[in-house]
Amino acid sequence: MIDFVRIHRSLGTRDSKIANLKARDLELDKGVESKNEQTVTIASALDAYELDAKARNLAPESLRKYGQSIAHFKEYCKAKGIHSPRQLTLDLIREYRASWTFQPITQQKALERLRSILAFFVAHAWMPENYAKKLRPPKVEATPTLPYTQEEMVKLLAACETYHFANAYVRRQTRAFILLLRYSGLRLLDTVQFNRERVDASGRLLLTMEKTGVPLRFPLPAFVVSALEEIRQADGYFFRSGPGTWKSQESGWWRRLKKLGKHAGVNGVRPHRFRDTFAVELLNAGVSIETVSRLLGHKSIRVTEKHYSPWVASRQAELEKALGMALAADTLLLQISDGSNKGMENQQVGVVAREGIEPPTRGFSVRCSTN
């Protein structure tokens, strides 16, 4: 064991004294090499990665998730007695992944972050290989996009008037919150942080998406702007309540919407479904997926296609047209729709005659002539 690294190498001798001398020489050589490479510990290597992530100007939410991954990996390495990145092996990385108790989609994201961390280590020559790349990602069942129906939206808005909120202001605030989610396509945190500066005099939304940093500018419906004006607070924010962190504010609104959905009799109420409804209604109206992608603040159209491709009106029309052409050319379907099985019967009789077997009679009768 040299510098926390186990070395398996033949010393070419059976003499213990000579073997000890050679091992000492290896330690000295390794010591010089370690000084030249500026050997780092796991903790300092992870701290360096976190500083690099901040220097890349990642979104606060991305930095938060990277911070969680770094803290979790530090705890694992400490528990295993791993002091240097060079001690990491494929078996250890596989064991670390096996210790995760997250949902598959969360594991997939965590593996992506782990690969990024180890790639940083490899780039700095702190470990020889990115073992996380050899781990296959978990299988993730695709969750279908389920926008709210018009009936569900009506129920949720009506529930704002009947739910036992603290006062009339909270009722108006909740109604405005739902309308903004539905007609802006904003994520939950962006909606919670919404303030007066993000709506100009003409009612246009001016916003940089918190998660992606993509700037947006588009008009809000007049009734949404009116609902916002009714609840504007002195500090310029519309939905902030109390001195808590934005994360705690986000959690509070999530709980409020969940309770409201239960009161309204709407199942599966989640903030992101309002965003899905915004996107799907645009696509059903014939808006191009490229435009919808920009309105959602996606950095790549692939993200939009992954979640909303089945809802693109033009593509759905093409699919229906192609299927219709295929069915129109299907002779079996034509015979069935005409109520005639005569052609099928003749074909079956021909097969029976060639094979010398008894004709089947289930489903339709076949009459064989004895002449």
pLDDT of residue 30: 52
Q: What is Dmax (Cα atoms) for the chain?
A: 107
pTM over 0.75, yes/no: no
User: How far is Cα 202 from Cα 222, in angstroms, rounded to an integer?
Assistant: 9
Task: Collapse the DSSP code of 64 into the 3-class scheme (helix H, G, I; strand E, B; otherwise coil) and give the result.
Answer: helix
The CATH class that applies to domain 150-316 reads: mainly alpha
Do residues 349 and 359 make contact, with C-beta atoms less than 8 angstroms apart?
yes
- Say whether 150-316 and 42-134 share the same fold: no
**C-alpha dihedral, 85 to 89 to 90 to 91, nearest 10°:** -130
Do residues 72 and 102 make contact, with C-beta atoms less than 8 angstroms apart?
no
User: How far is Cα 96 from Cα 242, in angstroms, rounded to an integer?
Assistant: 40
H/E segment holding residue 219: strand 215-219
**Residue ranges of the domains in the chain?**
42-134, 150-316, 332-371
User: How far is Cα 19 from Cα 12, in angstroms, rounded to an integer?
Assistant: 8
pLDDT of residue 315: 66
In sequence order, what DSSP letters do the residues of 205-217 get, joined into one string?
EEEE-TTT--EEE
pLDDT of residue 58: 83
pLDDT of residue 154: 96
pLDDT of residue 352: 40
pLDDT of residue 272: 93
Do residues 208 and 197 make contact, with C-beta atoms less than 8 angstroms apart?
no
The one-letter amino acid at 306 = K
Instruction: Give 10-residue mean pLDDT values along the chain (371 residues).
Output: 58 70 64 51 94 88 91 95 94 95 91 96 94 92 82 96 88 95 92 88 71 71 91 85 86 94 94 94 88 86 84 70 76 63 48 45 41 42
Whose structure tokens read 């961390």? Answer: 117
Cα–Cα nearest to 130, from 120, 143, 140: 120
Cα–Cα nearest to 73, from 6, 121, 140: 121
Q: Which region holds residue 268: left if phi is over 0, alpha if psi is between -120 and 50, else beta?
A: left
**Residue partners of 37: CB distance under 8 A and separation at least 6:** 125
CA angle 58-59-60, nearest 5°?
Answer: 115
Task: Read off the DSSP letter of residue 197.
Answer: G
The CATH class that applies to domain 42-134 reads: mainly alpha
pLDDT of residue 334: 64
- Kindly list the distances between the CA atom of residue 160 and the CA atoms of 177, 259, 263, in Å, as whole numbers in the listed order: 10, 11, 9
User: How far is Cα 297 from Cα 3, in angstroms, rounded to an integer?
Assistant: 48
**Can you point out the beta strands (E) in 98-233?**
204-208, 215-219
Cross-strand pairs, 2: 5
Whose structure tokens read 């539905």? Answer: 182
Cα–Cα nearest to 179, from 221, 147, 130: 221
